[in-house]
Structure 1
Amino acid sequence: MTRTQKRGPAYVRRRGYPVRFLVLLIALLVAGCGSGGEAGPPPEAEDARTVETRAEGTTPGEPVEVRAETLVSGLELPWDVAFLPEGDALLTERDSNRLLRVTPEGEVSEVQTLDVATGNGEGGLLGVALSPEYAEDGYVYAYYTTEEDNRIARFRLGEEPEPVFTGLPSAGIHNGGRIEFGPDGMLYVGTGDAAEPDLAQDRGSPAGKILRLTPEGEVPPDNPVPGNPMYSMGHRNVQGLAWDGDGQLYASEFGQDAYDELNRIEAGENYGWPEVEGEGGEPEYTDPIGVWRPSEASPSGVAILRDGAVPQWEGDLFMTALRGERLWRVSLERGEEVGRESLLEGDYGRLRHVEQAPDGSLWILTSNGTDDRIVRLAPE
């Protein structure tokens, strides 16, 4: 990747949001080029296809051949997936508020509907995660939108959700929504700026942040700011969280009209929004390790392959692209990007999330609003 220097083409400064911001906001909602707008029907994808990849930046040698096939079709805007200990997956649908159970063979059944969630533009039933002690406590965590806010609740399957963290600002766009338990057993939460960019620089607001909470929704005593759930700040809309084998956290982030970002997240750091979009090179802000034009990305979920089905991809980060309609494979070395590759470009339309299954394959969720799917990517 060619990296630009300070005030080069990947540098964009933002200091005010009058008419231009309102026009962009309307365009995102109407055109669906942001994180949650729906597109038309997906391309006519075959049930299975062979994908040849370069494995650039990892193990040199012959190209890798993998197979992409539809595991499940007929879904309605699936948003997140979490795998149960026995191998089945829990799947959220954003607008229907349904929590589904999917077997490795692609059989789908409804577990329950979370009626407490209220669809609002890009809001609704979003992230899902399992308690680190799921085998003992049975808790499932969900991030969803209500009439008042975005919030996180936990529940046992079939039971009513019990809120553990409330008051996250909500709007028609930029609701964040990804939740993941980290290697330290804490709950990490990607939030958006809720269409109010200045909130991302407000330490008193949970918007435009990555939050770090205990499983009970409390602030851990070793957070960067005592008593504050903020782990990092200056984010526009975080919808992807993943850790590498060394415990390093990475996050994907929607830019505005210039650059989307992949960030290496450090505790207490400020990632610049709305003062900087892309690479600014200024000491008070932390630059991304990778940038993309929104037409190639508009990134959502990410996953880092560990003990996966394709050894050449070990340690690579995979990032789904909505507007870009592809899966990006990013090779990492010492926390930096050393190579990237575009996969499945235009084959399945908008891609919302990617998750590694227990068998080492990748499950990819589409987000087209019509006949959405789970696509399974695995070796031939």
Structure 2
Amino acid sequence: MRTGRTTSSHRRRGSAASGRVRVGAAAAMVALAVSLSGCVNFTDQDQTKDAGTFSANNESIAQKKQPPTSTPTPPPGPPPSGPCVDPDPAVIATCLESTGGVTAADDKGDVTMVAERTTGKLITTKRYAPHRVLATFPVDGSGDGGLIDFALSPTYSQDQLIYALITTASDNRIVRIAPGDVPKPILVGIPKGQNGNMGSMFFRSPTELVVATGNAGNPAAANDPSSLAGKLLSVTSLRSGANPPPRILASGFGSNVSMCTNVNTGTLYLADQTPTEDRVQVMESGGPKVLWTWPDRPQIAGCAVASGSIFVSTTRTQHIEAINEPTRDKPAITPPVVLLEKRYGALGRMTALPNGILQFATVNRAYGKPVQTDDRVVKWLPPSSSEDRT
């Protein structure tokens, strides 16, 4: 049993996996930003700010040389008031039910898309904007089940299809939904438990959906090849109907499994909770390899990769911590650094943008002490590696 963070067993080295498949997450994010332009009600003030100033293409040089005329700009009005207005400017979504997966819905991180785990609603919003429900899934939100995670079709701007990992009365399953339709099953029969239902999913390519499943409260099932619990799955049959079983990429995962990728290299990392420790692993050609473990079990709930670091969010200790992403030149892992502590309460899933900004969701309604504006989504830029992060 591991007793500390400084032992060699905690500093497993991770080399780059051979034969990595290019991640399609960046393309999906572009499609998401385009498709949501009509989904969120922006205030006039925000629209004016975002539009900037333009001049006609045929503007003459003489006109350009004329001194500009100044038009007084009215001062911005006061922020809206009400029980769901959070004074923290980093908070971009408020008054959510307990959350599941979260992803950024624009390239600046101002807009978010977040799953309400217990209601089955997939919501998009931004600061001071109303909630817009993109889809609703019938779910069993008891325990840690419900609308667990979601992924937009790689061709979302054309087909508007949304895939989701949900809990029903009988199982956990993957479904997809089209506008104006009901969810259709893609993969059924993933074991359901009183806990251990939380998993994760993303499109690794236009034809492959990668899904990580929790152990459904049964660690033995995670190592049982006949069970879909505690597994990393490759789902390539994406139409509804009687689909063949998915390919099992890896086994032995615990509860609350989250995934994060380096979109430049395609490297896949997984975070989960086991009965003895929380951990972060890297998926290599030979299977998952442990990078770091937390014997104190802070309840890691989310992970994200940005700017040379692997970030994890925790529920019990209410942290965001970072370890360095291993490289060929620097394969050793240094001890985690706490970058954010007990500012927003219990933390759930998180995601990273290419510019290094993170979005993370709180889970105070289920696991913390909720304030009036909970649950929330926060936009946050971690300190750079050159800064003192202690």
TM over 0.5: yes
Q: 1:73 to 1:316 in 2, by over 3 A?
A: same
Distance 1:184 1:106 in 2: 34
* Residue in 1 that maps onto 2:260: 242
Q: 1:115 to 1:79 in 2, by over 3 A?
A: closer
Q: Is residue 349 of structure 2 the alignment partner of residue 353 of structure 1? A: yes
Q: 1:136 to 1:86 in 2, by over 3 A?
A: farther
Distance 2:170 2:364 in 1: 27
Q: 1:163 to 1:208 in 2, by over 3 A?
A: same
Distance 1:377 1:141 in 2: 27
Q: Is residue 378 of structure 2 the alignment partner of residue 375 of structure 1? A: yes
Q: Is residue 100 of structure 2 the alignment partner of residue 97 of structure 1? A: no
Distance 1:93 1:348 in 2: 18
Q: Is residue 159 of structure 2 the alignment partner of residue 159 of structure 1? A: no
Q: 1:264 to 1:83 in 2, by over 3 A?
A: same
Distance 1:117 1:377 in 2: 30
Among 261, 270, 274, which residue is 1:251 paired with? 270
Contact (CA 8 Å) 2:164, 2:176: kept in 1 or not?
yes
After alignment, is 75-84 or 365-374 more displaced? 75-84
* Residue in 2 that maps onto 1:325: 318
Q: Secondary structure at the match of 1:242?
A: strand
Distance 2:180 2:7 in 1: 49
* TM alignment of 1:223-302, pairs within 5 A: 228-244=246-262, 245-256=264-275, 258-267=276-285, 269=287, 287-295=289-297, 297-302=298-303
- Please report how far the alpha carbon of residue 107 of structure 1 lies from its aligned counterpart in structure 2 after TM superposition: 1.8
- Please report how far the alpha carbon of residue 83 of structure 1 lies from its aligned counterpart in structure 2 after TM superposition: 3.8
**How big is the alpha-carbon RMSD for the aligned residues of Structure 1 and Structure 2?**
2.8
Contact (CA 8 Å) 2:6, 2:335: kept in 1 or not?
no
After alignment, is 208-217 or 192-201 more displaced? 208-217
Letter in 1 for 2:290: P
Distance 2:157 2:236 in 1: 18
Distance 2:155 2:237 in 1: 10
Q: 1:357 to 1:127 in 2, by over 3 A?
A: same
Q: Which runs of 5 or more residues in structure 2 are unaligned?
A: 11-85, 384-390
Q: 1:131 to 1:341 in 2, by over 3 A?
A: same
Q: Secondary structure at the match of 1:182?
A: strand
- Please report how far the alpha carbon of residue 177 of structure 1 lies from its aligned counterpart in structure 2 after TM superposition: 2.3
Contact (CA 8 Å) 2:147, 2:165: kept in 1 or not?
yes
Q: Secondary structure at the match of 2:253?
A: coil
Among 155, 163, 166, which residue is 1:144 paired with? 166
Q: Which runs of 5 or more residues in structure 1 are unaligned?
A: 7-45, 49-67, 219-225, 270-285, 306-313
* Residue in 1 that maps onto 2:145: 123
Percent identity of equivalent pairs: 28
Distance 1:118 1:329 in 2: 33
Q: 1:208 to 1:217 in 2, by over 3 A?
A: farther
* TM alignment of 1:106-121, pairs within 5 A: 106-111=128-133, 114-121=136-143
Q: 1:125 to 1:336 in 2, by over 3 A?
A: farther
Contact (CA 8 Å) 2:100, 2:349: kept in 1 or not?
yes
- Please report how far the alpha carbon of residue 115 of structure 1 lies from its aligned counterpart in structure 2 after TM superposition: 4.7
Distance 1:175 1:158 in 2: 28
Distance 2:199 2:316 in 1: 18
Q: Deviations over 1:230-276 (max 9, x none)?
A: 110011125211122311111001021x311101113563xxxxxxx
- Paired positions, count: 288
- Please report how far the alpha carbon of residue 191 of structure 1 lies from its aligned counterpart in structure 2 after TM superposition: 0.7
Distance 1:146 1:131 in 2: 22
Q: 1:200 to 1:267 in 2, by over 3 A?
A: farther
- Please report how far the alpha carbon of residue 69 of structure 1 lies from its aligned counterpart in structure 2 after TM superposition: 2.3
Give TM-score, length-normalised by structure 1.
Answer: 0.69
Distance 2:236 2:364 in 1: 34
- Please report how far the alpha carbon of residue 204 of structure 1 lies from its aligned counterpart in structure 2 after TM superposition: 1.3
Among 87, 100, 105, which residue is 1:79 paired with? 100
Structure having the higher strand fraction is: 1
Distance 1:113 1:134 in 2: 14
Distance 1:165 1:353 in 2: 23
- Determine which structure has more spread, i.e. the larger CA radius of gyration: 2
* Residue in 2 that maps onto 1:344: 340
Q: 1:237 to 1:154 in 2, by over 3 A?
A: same
- Please report how far the alpha carbon of residue 95 of structure 1 lies from its aligned counterpart in structure 2 after TM superposition: 0.9
Contact (CA 8 Å) 1:178, 1:239: kept in 2 or not?
yes
* Residue in 2 that maps onto 1:366: 362
Contact (CA 8 Å) 1:81, 1:91: kept in 2 or not?
yes
